Amino acid sequence: MESGSASSASAAASTTASSPVLQLPAPPSHAAAATQDTSPTSGALAHNDAIDLTTNVDSEVLPPPGKKQKKCSSEVWQHYTKYKVSKKGSDDTVIVEEYAKCNKCSYKRRCESNCGTSVFWNHLNNKHNIKSGQQQLQMKKREDGTEGALETYRYDETVILKKFYMAIIMHEYPFNIVEHDYFVDFIKSLRPTFPIKSRITVRKDILNIYEEEKKKLWQHLLTLSCRFSTTMDMWTSNQNKSYMCITVHWIDDTWKMQKRIIKFMHVEGHHSGSNMCKEFYDSIVDWNLDRRLVGLTLDNASSNDVCVKGVILKLRKISPLICDGIFFHVRCFNHILNLVAQDGLKQITGAVLKIRNTISILKHSPLQFEAFQKCALEVSLDNTKGLSMDTPTRWNSTFLMLKNAIYYRNAFDRLFLRHGRKYAKCAPTKVDWSMAIVLCKCLKPFHEATELFSGTTYPTTNHFFGKFCSIKLYIADWCNSTDGTIKTMANAMQTKYDKYWEKSNMALAVACFLDPRYKTSSIEYYGMKIYGLEAAEKFDEFNGVIKKLFDVYATSACATSKKKVSTVASESAFSAGGRVVDPFRTRLDPEAVQALVCTKDWIKAANNGYKTQAIINELDIESVERLLANLLIVEKEENNDDMEQDDVLMDEMDE
């Protein structure tokens, strides 16, 4: 019988048998000691009974029928290594006996199930001062990674396995990492008895963790007294499968903003409005949120309009919506900005053509890029910032390309001076640079708005109305520009912007009204600027919405004094980049994908929390103060006779 490796002995240590059974070969060192030692204290074998361990006897020894092997559960086996020894019986049959050798010394003894564990504990206690149930010590790590004070440590196989599964979930390791030879060897070097599971078992256990975490979150949402806002997005992964992601947002009872991904499911069939409506509604009902929804934020696809109408019809049959559903459908502002900016940039591709071509040459030529970096250093510029190319699907890539190119303008000029012939046809002129600066200034408000509404740790709906109106005024101003390129771009933008302006109602100004920094001053200012003589009619519509909302709060307070109605903005930018299935998950089934994505989101939220950060740190407060100051100046100029009202507004701004 061939002698086995150390790893096979470790694997054999995970099971015991009530009768001698040959399962795994024994290590050479342990086997030799067992066949030659005749000490009675060690339970050794007589030399005349020992057999040659190199003889293959697998076919001669079979486990007894009907016997079920007992799982090792005692902690004593963490300090011993088990192995098996074969010998010949009186009737020339092969008998396999199981031994355990101390990991700290050369002590060894028979360890079949009928031998008990007391003798092994006694050895550990007398020779190594280790007692049953005794905890070990380890150095506690500080937050900075340095070692701190000693703390007790107790090895728990179940806890360690769960931590291993958490590492797979949080760091997106593939399931078959448990089959990587060097990884297994590394784990065995740390703990020879650690059970390495198969990838199938890993998948099963992770799905069980997902179900446990889902049950905890479901019960937690049931205890909340607030309402919920939702966001939904769909895309096709690199598996060529369509996935729907549903995220819920709320303010908990401690006034902290929270969000969780509750569904990341594979959707079969067409992305029609009716199909999306069914999947969304079934998911909301599954989480028991159908009676507590306040809004749904989507992009501007036509199928989403059908989806929202269907959801509203189903929800109205269960319970009335807030203000008859005027707050329910929210259009993604970032998606609107993306469509508007792309329509405008299509009209000005020639204006930035030379800058784009020059950057393209540098990106595709290592020698020219090295020369450019050298020129950047010579004019005292940071060459680590780098250049970027724009892409057709991302409008802000054009803004970033122009922004970086303008920063390196002196480096470009020095490069053209040294290698004039190479760049004679594509070198940007002074007119090109001037146009790039103007376009960059025009695109900057779009970029700032996109960053603002991509936030996840602060409210965003209170800024929607102001940003929506200010960008509309920007576009209207650009339409009157004397520059033909800017005017052409603005006209294209205005056509697209007006389309979505009509679909956005005055109800979105409610959040701006509820912000104590703005109140009615911002609404009145933008209302007069945009609507002119029709502003009074719009104000009446707005006041009607405010009254409806007040009635909802009053009714809720009368019905249950402890119940609050909390509306939470959907601040997601619907960027699929952070949620698309990565290359390690391309072969996973949709059930496993949902378990991995959702569990990671829930564990991250439970450990760190989506706490509301101070809005004063997240926003550009100086720009807010300048806006309010400008509002006051305009009101003073238009209402010179009403100085008292201006003083009140100044006091509010100071507060």
Selected residue with higher pLDDT from 269 and 210: 210
Provide the H-helix boundaries in 346-481. Answer: 353-364, 366-378, 395-407, 409-418, 430-453, 461-479
Residue 61 has pLDDT above 60, yes or no: no
Selected residue with higher pLDDT from 444 and 508: 444
Helix 430-453 × helix 333-345 angle, to 10°: 170
Per residue in 199-230, pLDDT tens? 999 999 999 999 999 999 999 999 988 889 89
Q: List the helix and strand counts (H, then E) for the chain.
A: 23, 12
Residue 41 has pLDDT above 50, yes or no: no
Q: State what percent of residues in the chain have pLDDT above 90.
A: 17
Q: Residue 144 has what pLDDT?
A: 63
Q: Average pLDDT of the chain?
A: 75
Q: Are 386 and 362 in contact (CB under 8 A)?
A: no
Most confident of 3-17, 305-319, 347-361: 305-319
- Please state the rounded mean pLDDT for residues 281-292: 93
394 and 317 together in one domain: no
Domain assignment present for residue 576? The answer is yes
Residue 89 has pLDDT above 80, yes or no: no
pLDDT interval class at 270 (50, 70, 90): confident
> Of 362, 254, 207, 234, which Cα lies nearest the Cα of 304?
234
Of 247-251, 307-311, 434-438, 585-589, which range is least confident?
Answer: 585-589
Nearest 5°: the CA angle 325, 327, 328 is: 65
Residue 128 has pLDDT above 50, yes or no: yes
The residues, ordered by sequence, that sit 6+ positions from 18 with a Cβ below 8 Å of its Cβ are 67, 69, 70, 112, 113, 114
- Please state the rounded mean pLDDT for residues 128-142: 67
Selected residue with higher pLDDT from 307 and 638: 307
Rg (CA), the chain: 35
C-alpha 54/C-alpha 99 separation (Å) is 18
Residue environment code for 427-442, b if the CB has 16+ CB neighbours within 10 A, otherwise e: bbeeebbebbebbbeb
Of 17-26, 236-245, 419-428, which range is least confident?
Answer: 17-26
C-alpha 332/C-alpha 491 separation (Å) is 22
Q: Are 96 and 26 in contact (CB under 8 A)?
A: no
Domain assignment present for residue 401? The answer is yes
Q: Are 283 and 265 in contact (CB under 8 A)?
A: yes
437 and 377 together in one domain: yes
149 and 245 together in one domain: no
> Of 555, 527, 422, 409, which Cα lies nearest the Cα of 468?
527
Residue 25 has pLDDT above 80, yes or no: no
Q: Residue 166 has what pLDDT?
A: 93
393 and 318 together in one domain: no
For the chain, the residue count is 655
Q: Residue 139 has what pLDDT?
A: 62
Q: Residue 142 has what pLDDT?
A: 65
143 and 91 together in one domain: yes
C-alpha 529/C-alpha 546 separation (Å) is 22
Domain assignment present for residue 168? The answer is no
pLDDT interval class at 464 (50, 70, 90): confident
212 and 315 together in one domain: yes
Give me the number of domains the chain comprises. Answer: 3
Domain end point (choices 423, 445, 467) = 445
Domain assignment present for residue 216? The answer is yes
375 and 322 together in one domain: no
288 and 374 together in one domain: no
Residue 43 has pLDDT above 70, yes or no: no
3-state class of 87 per DSSP?
strand
363 and 307 together in one domain: no
- Please state the rounded mean pLDDT for residues 162-183: 91
Q: Residue 556 has what pLDDT?
A: 60
- Please state the rounded mean pLDDT for residues 395-413: 89
Strands (E), 210-276: 228-236, 242-251, 257-266
Domain assignment present for residue 318? The answer is yes
C-alpha 356/C-alpha 405 separation (Å) is 9
> Of 480, 475, 470, which Cα lies nearest the Cα of 522?
470
- Please state the rounded mean pLDDT for residues 543-548: 84
323 and 353 together in one domain: no
Q: State what percent of residues in the chain have pLDDT above 70.
A: 72
Q: Residue 92 has what pLDDT?
A: 78
C-alpha 322/C-alpha 551 separation (Å) is 10
Angular region, 212: left φ>0, alpha ψ -120 to 50, beta rest: alpha
- Please state the rounded mean pLDDT for residues 176-185: 92
Q: Residue 141 has what pLDDT?
A: 66
> Which residue range(s) make up the domain with 575?
208-327+568-607
Domain assignment present for residue 365? The answer is yes
Selected residue with higher pLDDT from 262 and 255: 262
- Please state the rounded mean pLDDT for residues 396-413: 90
Q: Residue 27 has what pLDDT?
A: 43
Domain assignment present for residue 170? The answer is no
- What are the tokens at 311? 């959801």
The helix or strand, by DSSP H or E, that contains position 15, with its residue range, turns out to be strand 15-16
Residue 269 has pLDDT above 60, yes or no: yes
Residue 101 has pLDDT above 60, yes or no: yes
Domain assignment present for residue 548? The answer is no
320 and 353 together in one domain: no
Domain end point (choices 428, 445, 462) = 445
361 and 437 together in one domain: yes
Domain end point (choices 411, 445, 479) = 445
Q: Residue 196 has what pLDDT?
A: 87
